[in-house]
């Protein structure tokens, strides 16, 4: 039976009982509007934990002024229905005032400077401060032994790992590979904003990244291959924020000896901003 709790005190009480019983708590933080990508995180949590907690909180601190905070889909009832089929023990669905009692602007914040100023952080100033702050707070509330994140938000995953390491937080971070639609589009709550025509075009992001990986593996000059991918998206009507080849562990520009690489892209299709990535290894 999935329990839904709204307050920090209630979650603390429940979690303390589990901790006293020596149970391992696995946590999946989400903003709701759950799709198969989220459910894969929940499955991974169930494999590693005795208890599974999912949070559903549309975090205002990680949305910029002109972003889709008001429009972001809030589907708590359907989400809880899905989670109860996955034997989730607890859904934490707080109000904004529970997480930010002094208002979002007056909240104490957490920043991970090095990784937060590039790529997504450059396009969405304040985004990673919002993510790190809320994840830190959620960790303090849920006190998980392990937390699971999706690799679709690869930079977010690195930011969280960095925060956990820098602040010596007693939580293990696990990740799950990106879940895709049959045509390759990475699953995302924001895909629901795409109209029919945009939905067809959206698959090009993944297709371009796949070609980019192939080109780099075939020894093509990465800068040339990136230019080609970016141009192709541009021609199909995308507004490209970035297409890049980086190294996996810190998203810096790769050096000669780096082998574990990743291609990442962010582009806007109409009003919908899509991101995707493919990690790969040079032989
Ligand atoms: O990836 C998300 O859904 C959010 O950024 C997260 C990690 C739940 C923090 O609000």
Tell me the C-alpha distance between 177 and 37, whole Å.
9
pLDDT in tens, 30-59: 999 999 999 999 999 999 999 999 999 999
The pLDDT value recorded for residue 13 is: 98
pLDDT above 90 for 197: yes
38 is catalytic: yes
The residues pairing with 180 across neighbouring beta strands, listed in sequence order, are 186
Span 176-190, average pLDDT: 97
Closest CA to 91 of 23, 139, 29: 29
Catalytic residue among 12, 35, 38, 228: 38
Residue nearest to ligand 1 atom 9, measured at CA: 131
In the predicted structure, residue 61 carries a pLDDT above the cut 90: yes
Summarised one tens digit per residue, pLDDT across range 95-152 is 999 999 999 999 999 999 989 999 999 999 999 999 999 999 999 999 999 999 999 9
In this prediction, residue 1 carries a pLDDT of 85
The number of the ligand 1 atom at minimal distance from the alpha carbon of 150 is 1
Q: Specify whether the CB–CB gap between 106 and 66 falls below 8 A.
A: no
What residue owns the CA closest to ligand 1's atom 8?
30
Indicate the average pLDDT of the chain.
Answer: 97
How remote is the CA of residue 257 from the centroid of ligand 1, in Å?
33
Tokens coding 276: 């995707």
Neighbouring C-alpha atoms within 13 Å toward the C-beta of 210: 9
Ligand 1 nearest-atom number relative to CA 31:
3
> Quick one: pLDDT at residue 26?
98
Helix, strand, or coil here: 186? strand
- Domains, the chain, with CATH or none: 3-176 (3.40.50.620), 189-277 (3.30.1300.10)
Asked if 83 and 34 touch (Cβ cutoff 8 Å), the reply is yes
Residue 224 is predicted with a pLDDT of 97
* Residues in CB range of 186: below 8 A, 6 or more apart: 37, 152, 178, 179, 180, 205, 206, 274, 275, 276
In Å, what is the CA distance from 8 to each residue of 15, 23, 142?
10, 19, 9
Strands of 51-56's sheet, edge to edge? 3-5, 90-92, 51-56, 25-30, 146-150, 172-176
Question: What integer is the mean pLDDT of 63-81?
Answer: 96
């Amino acid at each position: 039976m999935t329990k839904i709790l709204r307050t920090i005190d209630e979650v603390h009480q429940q979690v303390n009982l589990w901790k006293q019983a020596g149970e391992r708590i696995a946590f999946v933080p989400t903003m709701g509007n759950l799709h198969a990508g989220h459910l894969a995180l929940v499955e991974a949590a169930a494999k590693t934990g005795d208890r599974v907690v999912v949070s559903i909180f549309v975090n205002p601190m990680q949305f910029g002024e002109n972003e889709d905070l008001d429009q972001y889909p809030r589907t708590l009832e359907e989400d809880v229905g899905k989670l109860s089929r996955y034997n989730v023990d607890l859904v934490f669905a707080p109000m904004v005032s529970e997480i930010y009692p002094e208002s979002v602007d007056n909240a104490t914040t957490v920043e991970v400077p090095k990784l937060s100023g590039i790529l997504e952080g450059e396009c969405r100033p304040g985004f990673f401060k919002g993510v790190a702050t809320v994840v830190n707070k959620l960790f303090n509330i849920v006190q998980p032994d392990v937390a699971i994140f999706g690799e679709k938000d690869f930079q977010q995953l690195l930011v969280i790992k960095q925060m956990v390491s820098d602040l010596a937080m007693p939580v293990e971070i696990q990740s799950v590979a990106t879940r895709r639609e049959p045509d390759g589009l990475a699953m995302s709550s924001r895909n629901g904003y795409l109209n029919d025509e945009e939905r067809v075009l959206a698959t090009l992001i993944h297709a371009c990244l796949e070609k980019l990986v192939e080109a780099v593996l075939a020894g093509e000059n990465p800068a040339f291959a990136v230019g080609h991918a970016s141009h192709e998206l541009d021609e199909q009507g995308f507004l490209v924020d970035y297409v890049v080849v980086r190294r996996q562990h810190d998203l810096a520009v790769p050096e000669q000896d780096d082998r574990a690489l990743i291609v990442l892209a962010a582009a806007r299709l109409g009003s919908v901003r899509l991101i995707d990535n493919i990690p790969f290894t040079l032989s």
